[in-house]
Amino acid sequence: MEIIATYGFELVLLAGVFGLFMAWGIGANDVANAMGTSVGSKALTIKQAILIAMVFEFAGAYLAGGEVTSTIRKGIIDSAYFVDSPELLVYGMIASLLAAGIWLLLASYLGWPVSTTHSIIGAIVGFAAVGVNADAVTWSKVGGIVGSWVVTPLISGIFAYLIFMSAQKLIFNTSDPLANAKRYVPFYMAMSGFMLSLVTIKKGLKHIGIHFSTSEALLIAGAIAVAVGFIGVFLIKQLKADPQADKKMHYASVEKVFAILMIVTASCMAFAHGSNDVANAIGPLAAVVSIVENGGEITKQAALVWWILPLGGIGIVLGLAIFGSRVMATIGQGITHLTPSRGFAAELAAATTVVLASSTGLPISTTQTLVGAVLGVGMARGIAALNMGVIRNIVISWVVTLPAGAVLSIGIFYMLKGVFSA
Amino acid sequence: MNSILGVFAKSPIKPLQEHICKVHQCASHLVPFFEAAYANDWNKATGIRAELSKMEKSADKLKRELRMNLPKGLFMPIDRTDLLGLVTEQDKIANIAKDISGRILGRKLVIPPPIQQEFMEYLLRCLDASACAVKAIDELDELLETGFQGRELQIIDKLVIELDSIENSTDVMQISLRHSLHGIEQDLNPVDVVFLYNVIEWVGDLADLAERVGDKLELMLARS
């Protein structure tokens, strides 16, 4: 108890710095996965992608990041084991942040596409199970989270399959694909707008103290959806068909319509990513702050301190601004095998899945969901060739991340314990 | 690269299209080649033959590249074996074109003037077949856009049927050309006659092989 009273400020500062570091890492690395499909299919330039990512990652983190944050903060660990020694929980959370951050840095250096979510969950479970007590982990909850890692790619794959098939039926397999693209693409835009605004209104606005009933929320989301749809109609009207390009490839102009749609789905993807992944950085930080503020008491109900979510958002944006363009530049080169109509299906499916999962508080992996969605489009025979070897490596890197995060955090946990308790 | 975009492998469709284009271009060189041969301008014919041979080589290179870019672990909407079979068939067209020009040039074999016109018509018709194969293969990227179903599939079906009918007409032309040759063969060098029959057959093979490309394409699409 005295430790928290004496070193309270230092501990919060430490957690804050590591949390910012982690958020920065998420912004620098994960953005490639979240925005890569848009840049890769040439629907957006790198600058546009960064700009969209900054705005919507922050919005997602701030407006819809609370739910997952509270899961990471207090869902995984049974606080009953820490009542007598809350400082252990503080050390553990700081250790987890640092461990996940280090692992992320190492993985990016080596070029492994690891998941930030996996590393932080592995780290938290690691320090709690080994450093404290195996029963200190709420295994049922962890089981649910790990289970969601299997289920969400599946769900987003099915979504992607259905979305892609619907686009085929409504647009590509018709006598006038261009006219049908112009007709139906605004509906896809409206759908994306509806989903995003609904989640924001239901889950996000309560952080800033605004409450709506379900019917009100539906109404507002519907209105926003209509507005987004009309903006889409307007943008598509500006578009000019290019007969020269159409001669080479019949669907060139159709793809241009989808490129506009991709601006919307890319925004969704950034929002979804922010809402889900910000928690990986600030969940542990929130736990530390709450314990210190309450003088060592672990309260269940404590609301999130106001500055935490924006801090995470700013961290992500900083990462984007500093490293994002470099990461994007590597993506922008060479990948032309993805047309906007496929990219849109994958992005919309992944974003929908992530946003839905985020609203239930499940910390899922954005990358994983996107890979599931890409496979879904592949199953619908929309992509010329997918590299299964690369997919296998990605899956392996996810599995390895759990024990790696755990081992690192256990080590750092004991170090911190030694430093502060000495 | 630290991103999921490594998941997207290089599309085999573009190289396949490039390959058939190159092959057709190569076979099309037979027209100026025979024109030079008709005019007994063997210098020019040698030059054209060198160009033709260069194209056959670059088609070979494309074929090899395509094969190298198709590792086992690819997940594709079309069967890998079918794709590899298709490119093999395509490549045979260039090979036979090279063989024809080589045989003509090697023996300075002149198509007898009474059948020159008929022979040229026959050659052009056979090249129509490979042009049609190019068109069919060219639809593949559109077919990918539509997820290998619907309208685009019908367009390819139509092209394959057209290819069949072209090949049928070349068969008819071949029979009549052989008949014409038979009518004048007593005035010709017997050894030349043997080779003339061979050349007529090989030119017909151009159309046959183009039809086989269509067949393979149809098989590839039917299986999936």
Distance CA A148, CA A150 (A): 5
Task: Work out the pLDDT band at B1, boundaries 50, 70, 90.
Answer: very low
Cα gap A355→A195, rounded to integer Å: 8
Query: Are the Cβ atoms of A168 and B148 closer than 8 angstroms?
Result: no
- B150, closest residue in chain A (CA to CA): A173
**Which pLDDT score is estimated for A207?**
65
Helices A46-64 + A340-359 axis angle, to 10: 20
Q: Higher model confidence: residue A398 or residue A93?
A: A93
The beta strand positions in A292-412, using DSSP E, are 386-387
Residue B74: which H helix or E strand, with range? strand B74-75
> Is the CB of residue B79 less than 8 Å away from at least one CB of chain A?
no
A341 vs B148: CB contact, 8 Å cut-off? no
Q: What is the radius of gyration, based on Cα positions, of chain B?
A: 20
Residue A238 burial (CB < 10 Å; 0-12/13-18/19+)?
exposed
pLDDT at A335: 53
Average pLDDT (A18-43) is 82
Q: pLDDT tens across A81-90, in order? A: 888 888 888 9
Give pLDDT, residue A84. Answer: 83
* A&B contacts, CB < 8 Å: 123
* pLDDT tens for each residue of A293-305: 887 777 766 677 8
Residues of A in contact with B147 (CB under 8 A): 164-165, 168, 172, 380-382
Give the tens place of pLDDT for each residue, A41-54: 878 888 888 888 88
More confident residue, B84 or A45: B84
Helix (H, G, I), strand (E, B) or coil at B72: coil
Range among A21-25, A153-157, A271-275 with highest mean pLDDT value: A153-157
Can you tell me the distance from the alpha carbon of A374 to that of A45, in angstroms, rounded to the nearest whole number?
21
Q: Is the pLDDT of residue A384 over 70?
A: yes
Amino acid at B2: N
Predicted pLDDT at B163 = 96
Share of chain B above pLDDT 90, in %: 82
The closest alpha carbon to B17, from A248, A160, A147, belongs to A248
Measure the CA–CA gap between A384 and B149, rounded to whole angstroms.
Answer: 14
Q: Write out chain A residues lying below 8 Å of B13, CB-based.
A: 384
* CB nearest to B147's CB, from A168, A338, A388: A168
Both tokens of residue A407? 């081992």
CA distance A201 to chain B (A): 31
Which residues in chain A have Cβ-Cβ distances shorter than 8 Å to B1? Answer: 111, 330-331
Say if CB A382 and CB B144 are below 8 A apart.
Answer: yes
Structural domain including A278 reads 2-421
Does the beta carbon of B71 lie under 8 angstroms from any beta carbon of chain A?
yes
pLDDT at position A302 is: 62
State the smallest CA–CA distance between residue B141 and chain A in angstroms.
8
Average pLDDT for B92-100: 96
Q: Calculate the average pLDDT of chain B.
A: 93
User: In chain B, what percentage of residues exceed pLDDT 70?
Assistant: 98
pLDDT (0 to 100) of residue A422: 61
Is B141 in Cβ contact with A249 (below 8 Å)?
A: yes
Q: What's at A222, amino acid-wise?
A: G
CB A199 within 8 A of CB A358: yes
Tell me which chain B residues have a C-beta less than 8 angstroms from the C-beta of A29: 2
> Residue A398 — very low, low, confident or very high, per pLDDT cuts 50/70/90?
confident
Residue type at B26 in one-letter notation: C
Please check the confidence at residue A28 and state whether its pLDDT lies above 50: yes
**In this structure, are residues A384 and B7 in contact, taking their beta carbons and an 8 Å threshold?**
no
Residue of chain A with shortest Cα separation from B77: A381
Q: What pLDDT does A114 receive? A: 81
Report yes or no: B4 at the A interface, CB cutoff 8 Å.
yes
Owner of token pair 């033709």? B52
On the question of pLDDT at B132 being above 90, the answer is yes
Does residue A324 carry a pLDDT above 80?
no
Q: Do B4 and A394 touch (CB under 8 A)?
A: yes
Amino acid at A200: T
- Residue-range domains of chain B with CATH: 12-223 (1.20.58.220)
pLDDT of residue A45: 84
Taking only the tens place, the pLDDT of each residue in A129-143 is 998 888 889 999 899
Question: In chain B, which residues have their Cβ closer than 8 Å to the Cβ of A165?
Answer: 147
- Residue A45 sits at φ, ψ, to 5 deg, of -85, 170
Q: How confident is the model at residue A341 (pLDDT cuts 50, 70, 90)?
A: very high
- Say how many domains are in chain A: 1
CA dihedral A103, A107, A108, A112 (to 10 degrees): -150
Q: Would you say residue A334 has pLDDT above 60?
A: no
Q: Distance from B138 to chain A by nearest Cα, in Å?
A: 9
